[in-house]
Amino acid sequence: MTWFLDHLALVGSLLLVHAWLAVVPLLLGLIIAIPLGWLAERNRVLRPILVVGTGLLYTIPSLALFILMPLVLGTGILDPLNVIIALTVYTVALLVRTVVDGLSAVPETVRQAAIAMGIGGARRFFTVELPLAVPVISSGLRVAAVSNVSIVSIAALLGIAQLGSLFTDGFARDFLDPIVVGIVACLVLSVVLDALIIGVTRVLTPWVAARSAA
Amino acid sequence: MITFDKVTKVYPDGTRAVDGLSLDLPTGKITVFVGPSGCGKTTSLRMINRMIEPTSGTIGIDGRPTSSLDPVTLRRGIGYVIQSGGLFAHRTVLENIATVPLLLGWGKAKAYGAARELIERMGLDASLTSKYPAQLSGGQQQRVGVARALAADPPVMLMDEPFSAVDPQVREQLQDEFLRLQAELGKTIVFVTHDIDEATKLGDQVAVLRVGGTLAQLAPPADLLADPVDDFVADFIGRDRGYRALAFVAAPALPIQPEATVELGATREQVAAVAAGAPWVLVVEDGAPVGWVAPERLGATVGRDDLHRGGTVARVGGSLRAALDAALSSPSRRGVLADDDGRLVGTVSATDVLTEIERDETGPPS
Ligand SMILES: Nc1ncnc2c1ncn2[C@@H]1O[C@H](COP(=O)(O)OP(=O)(O)OP(=O)(O)O)[C@@H](O)[C@H]1O
Ligand SMILES: [Mg+2]
């Protein structure tokens, strides 16, 4: 506890970096997964390729991906961009299937009604299909958020400072306090992110609350 | 007028859904497409607003082939009601109804104004305006679906089994409201159902389709019931067609008998005096017939619980079917007749109604 109080500023700045490294890929991954999911949902040939293909990305070990990134991107090994891009890949891996599931769950009658009213193409996607898929996409996003928070820590092994650094530091010095603080901070970050996603989803989908109250 | 001219639809997998369909759907009238499952009703309907393109043949609206019109513009000018509503779950009732007006650029004030008016017109409570579809009953959702299709006041309405997802009682109510609304609006309506009763009740003309997508018969309901062209149509119309056809025959001047009545709340003695030994006495309240009572099973006075329910009341000048049904459903076998305001006029016996049916020469031709 005294270690924590003595190093409040350090833990705080590591937490901010950690949050940044987890959240930016989450948003980037979402932005990439939506068009990929849209494509997969409407194209019968592309669907299995996209869903299975992106899903496989998640099986690449994170350490390997972090080390591969500089080779692919030409970045320095300590560049946080490696982490951002690697985690974006994982987020896409988790979210493409979710987006496809969410879009497939839109009832066919609703889609037909939209077509019959002359709501076509992009307008139908953004005003009817995507809003109705928000609850499903949001649940996938929550999984990705927690996954990102835990994977970011591994970047400490490469020397990129964030909460994971507390683990490597404590381990190297055989000192438990920073490790415990690091775990608790990761946990708090996950819970806060989760609550944030739930909150934003509620605001975006007032109709879901109305449905369960009915 | 909507015209089908030798319209054929073959799906890519080879299914011949509609085959050489030619018919006219007059402006301001309800044309019902009816037939067994898979006979191409939905396909025919969706070819009108080009949700499905015909393989060959042409569909014209007021003489213009739909193939020459922009699909989006065409669709926004045609109301479409889909089975089980197809409402947007993420939008309120008001927003759902205002969809097409907003797309047409009416602006929020005018679009929502029109939507509010329709909510009232469809007999929906104003408190439902800001509710979401999931908070409505099936019947209410169907009404919102119809309101949404009517919102931009399109001259043509396509309705694909709009009332099939609700229970029979609500369905009948929706049908009656629909007919009332159509009497005011006079839209050109194409209505799809697989229920022949619904078809004959709602249609100005009924098109019976057979599987394979060919037209078996096109006729006004009375003619269809009276004179099916072949065994398929006869079978499809069903067994009670003779009885149901009576619904389209206006009852002539029936020999109406005066009926001795008692007021609701009358004493046992008063009822016995009026009955004079008869097993059933008609009870009225403010001049309106409310039911029959059996004098010997009565308590001290006539209460609502003593009334025999289930008897129908026919309107004077209504159909022969209504008059016959009133007689057959009455425990005294005397059918109750009321005027347009619901006040008792008298009763008629089943025999007298049957005599009229036998005398009627517009009945089923040979
Ligand atoms: N997209 C499609 N591809 C291939 N065949 C189809 C397609 N849509 C419909 N069909 C077939 O075309 C035929 C007519 O279908 P349609 O939906 O028009 O029938 P329907 O009369 O509306 O039937 P129901 O009363 O069951 O709604 C059926 O045999 C159906 O299986
Ligand atoms: Mg159908």
pLDDT in tens, A174-204: 888 888 888 898 999 999 999 999 999 999 9
- Map out the domains of chain A with their CATH numbers: 2-207 (1.10.3720.10)
- The answer to whether the CB atoms of B85 and A206 lie below 8 A apart is no
Mean pLDDT on B133-161: 94
Mean pLDDT on A29-55: 92
Which has more confidence, A195 or B269?
A195
Chain B residue set in contact with A, beta carbons under 8 Å: 49, 51, 71-76, 78, 80, 82-91, 99-100, 103, 131-132, 134-135, 158
Mean pLDDT on A25-44: 94
Which residue of chain B comes nearest to A109, CA vs CA? Answer: B86
* Cα–ligand 2 centroid distance for B33 (angstroms): 10
Whose CA is closest to atom 2 on ligand 1? B11
Q: Which ligand is nearest to the CA of B47?
A: 1
Q: What is the pLDDT of residues A68-121, one digit of tens each?
A: 888 888 888 888 888 899 999 999 999 999 999 999 999 999 999 999 999 988
Chain A positions touching B130 (Cβ under 8 A) are: none
- Map out the domains of chain B with their CATH numbers: 2-243 (3.40.50.300), 261-359 (3.10.580.10)
- The answer to whether the CB atoms of B132 and A211 lie below 8 A apart is yes
- The answer to whether the CB atoms of B91 and A112 lie below 8 A apart is no
Most confident of B37-51, B76-90, B290-304: B37-51
Chain A positions touching B162 (Cβ under 8 A) are: none
Is A110 touching B (CB cutoff 8 A)? yes
Residue B366 pLDDT > 50: no
Q: What is the pLDDT of residue A177?
A: 86
Q: What is the ipTM for the molecules in this complex?
A: 0.86
Chain A positions touching B50 (Cβ under 8 A) are: none
Give the β-pairing of B205-210 and B188-193: unpaired
Whose CA is closest to atom 18 on ligand 1? B40
Q: How many CB pairs under 8 A join A and B?
A: 69
Q: What is the pLDDT of residues A143-177, one digit of tens each?
A: 999 999 999 888 877 778 888 888 888 888 888 88
Contact B81, B146 (CB under 8 A): yes
Q: What is the pLDDT of residue B361?
A: 61
Mean pLDDT on B40-68: 96
Average pLDDT in chain A: 90
- Residue B16 near ligand 1, beta carbon < 6 Å: no
Q: What is the pLDDT of residue B356?
A: 84
* Cα–ligand 1 centroid distance for B16 (angstroms): 9
pTM for the model: 0.82
- Residue B208 near ligand 1, beta carbon < 6 Å: no
- Residue B41 near ligand 1, beta carbon < 6 Å: yes
Split at pLDDT 50, 70, 90, the class of B365 is very low
Split at pLDDT 50, 70, 90, the class of B360 is low
Mean pLDDT on B64-72: 94
Q: What percent of chain B has pLDDT over 70?
A: 98
- Residue B68 near ligand 1, beta carbon < 6 Å: no
- Residue A179 tokens read as 């490790």
Average pLDDT in chain B: 91
Distance from CA of A105 to the nearest CA of B (A): 12
Whose CA is closest to atom 25 on ligand 1? B37
Chain A positions touching B45 (Cβ under 8 A) are: none
- Residue B193 near ligand 1, beta carbon < 6 Å: no
- The answer to whether the CB atoms of B84 and A128 lie below 8 A apart is no
The Cα B235–Cα B211 span in angstroms is: 14
Whose CA is closest to atom 30 on ligand 1? B38
Distance from CA of B203 to the nearest CA of A (A): 23
Distance from CA of B357 to the nearest CA of A (A): 46
Split at pLDDT 50, 70, 90, the class of B362 is low
Q: Which of B88, B94, B192 to mutate to test the interface with A (most CBs of A within 10 A)?
A: B88
Residue B209 pLDDT > 70: yes
Q: What percent of chain A has pLDDT over 90?
A: 52
Residue B27 pLDDT > 90: yes
Mean pLDDT on B20-36: 96
Which residue of chain A comes nearest to B51, CA vs CA? Answer: A116
